[in-house]
Chain A
């Protein structure tokens, strides 16, 4: 097991778990700019372990699962990591400044293993970022539920959880894109995003973005994440910065430019070689700034490393809070119902009396079968007075 440390003795460890995580870790290990990152993968399936090109590959719970994987059972994944490989993993994590765990939720190994790893990281007091993909909607309700529960469990112990819905791929890629290409591109983008996240802990930052910034921005809230990635070198034309920005906006895992506008937090890292100049950094950040609103919290980091050569890479994590969780916990029902319902009856001289129960039937009238009209989480086709819970006197 080799350890590569950077100048400030800060080690970033990336661990891919499950089949999807292993693939991403493999791609990451091929990047020259990721040489300073310690990359490994762990799986319960011996066929994946044998096929892997990674130097550090952990078979977890092989004796127990007989190398056949978890078969989608979360409890098996959890036990494999917790009982059979805990010490091995702890040794591997030792001395790390940041852990990045990557995997695809919905199966057994990653969903079960992630929460165990979160607890290990918490115990070892190492900050951990979990970049996890959630299943496509066509994979069925049960897989979605498994991943939902997985995230819920993970949020409790992990510092940062960045769930990326696989469905986001549809929003930018054409439907005739070969499936193989789509997945390869998605995996490669996640691998590149890992480099972007890893750069925050690095000592060579030109613009510093602290890990605590990201941690406090997420603040244990359930969220979703889109990854935008653009890289360009001098060979791509005279203005590599603009080219990189254009590629970022078209990034398949970002899900369109609207995702930037609607994001609650934008985490941006700009990385390049020694020739990256301040004008390019400014230009890149200005382009992104143009697409977001004032309410968006922006965390910006920039660093340079000769390993990038003449390549310039902009990584963007667009994070949105899952508001449905907060709404459910607040006990509300119906679209944006106020917590207190007014007693006012408009248009009447009578003293205010208790109105109908808040179970007011919302209706869209002539807009019933038209395209959705949602701004700031509100369906504007529903009359304003209904959304505000105001009762109208219809007359006699």
Chain B
């Protein structure tokens, strides 16, 4: 069932697109994409929430069909992973501690299992469910730090964890469309975490970095420090809000505003020394000042970054942004994004791109695909964990995941330095 050659299917039901990727990780740690299907969401998903289930299921059917056709393989229902987002998602830091017993006080895999389970157990309301847990370095006897404590000798073993949870009903809503395809138990992965797997380097994660993934309907952020998560969240504002602001502010059609943003028309005009966008239609002829566009975009983006700044400040983790900010997602393609992030946080900002991909599908090297490619890697590590674990369906991502991650990060670092 979980053979090494089995194919991972990653499903993204986003505000702008429904995307399905089929792939696997090869021996070198590269993501090998063999199938790709994509459809415009066409209003079925608004602000990251499924608003029209029937339409979503129909679109998903077409997308999965397209991915299957391009890969020549059929969907592996046991290895399907779905990205989950929404303002209900939250993260909690936990710690676990166990006393090492046994003759020589040698740490066994059972000890490690117990300590991670204790760390991941966070009291939460009954309407919430755990999505993913990640673990930081292990601490032996309160002094020694190690990445792998197995077979080391200690009296006490501790570990810090970061557990991401979400509202049960909201998470279930993402899984229901996949059940139509015989996929009874698709694994949910927080989309911010999936993105991080792809775009954050090892060094960044160790010293502290903030990832901001600006999608069409939502913006996910996730903060890492000491090789573990320390804060995450979702702000239900994305590029669609910018398009909507432009449409309202400039009396334009939303579709035209989306086109303006996608094609960066304002920037192209600026490069040519033109300070306006000429609107020529059947009804009107108008010169829209580029300054007006810039102001609307700047106000929205700077508000978005200020919200994230405020959240991190409240959680007292702002000081951990030592390696700057990585922006990704469709919103990172806007010319203004990096500059505004820099002015709000006053630190280095880079654009996060998916790492080197191999395989038949090669047109995915855009920040728009960071999350979905990361989801393949997350799926691969969860799959391996399932193979090795006796503990049942706890959705955790740990050492196996981190080894995979390390490989990916190395290639990402080489490819996209600051």
Contacts and interface: CB of A to CB of B under 8 A. Distances in A.
A385 B254 CA distance: 17
B151 interface: no
Contact of A394 (B49, B236, B249, B295): B249
Contacts of B303: 384
Given A380-B237, A394-B251, A395-B286, A373 B47 contact: yes
A385 B288 contact: no
A365 B286 contact: no
B337 to A, nearest CB: 15
A346 B92 CA distance: 42
Interface stretch (B63-71, B119-127, B378-386): B119-127
A365 B247 contact: yes
A250 to B, nearest CB: 6
Contacts of A290: 92-93, 122
B240 A394 contact: no
Given A370-B46, A395-B287, A383 B51 contact: no
B251 A249 contact: no
Interface in A253-303: 256-257, 287, 290, 293-295
Interface in A334-369: 346-348, 363-367
A395 B254 contact: no
A330 interface: no
Contacts of A375: 235-236, 307
Interface SS of A by simple majority: loop
**Chain B interface size, under 10 / 10 to 19 / 20 to 34 / 35 or more:** 35 or more
Interface in B208-249: 235-237, 240-241, 244-245, 247-249
A114 B240 CA distance: 51
A393 B251 CA distance: 11
A348 B125 CA distance: 53
Given A383-B249, A392-B250, A396-B287, A370 B292 contact: no
B39 interface: no
A257 B292 contact: no
Contacts of B236: 373, 375, 380
Given A257-B124, A384-B299, A365 B248 contact: yes
Interface stretch (B195-203, B313-321, B352-360): B313-321
Contacts of A294: 313-316
B304 to A, nearest CB: 9
B125 A249 contact: yes
B51 A250 contact: no
A257 B125 contact: yes
A246 B123 contact: yes
A392 B93 contact: no
Given A245-B123, A383-B300, A365 B292 contact: no
Interface in A118-147: none
Interface of B: 46-47, 49, 51, 92-93, 121-128, 235-237, 240-241, 244-245, 247-251, 254, 276, 279, 286-292, 294-296, 299-300, 303, 307, 310, 313-316
Given A392-B296, A396-B286, 11 more contacts: A249-B125, A250-B126, A257-B124, A346-B292, A348-B291, A376-B307, A383-B248, A385-B296, A386-B249, A388-B299, A395-B288
What are the 4 A-B residue pairs with the smallest beta carbon separation, nearest first? A347-B291, A347-B289, A347-B292, A383-B245
27 contacts: A242-B121, A250-B125, A257-B124, A257-B128, A290-B122, A293-B315, A294-B314, A347-B290, A347-B294, A364-B244, A365-B248, A366-B244, A367-B241, A370-B47, A371-B47, A375-B236, A376-B310, A380-B236, A380-B237, A383-B244, A384-B299, A385-B249, A388-B299, A390-B295, A390-B299, A395-B276, A395-B279
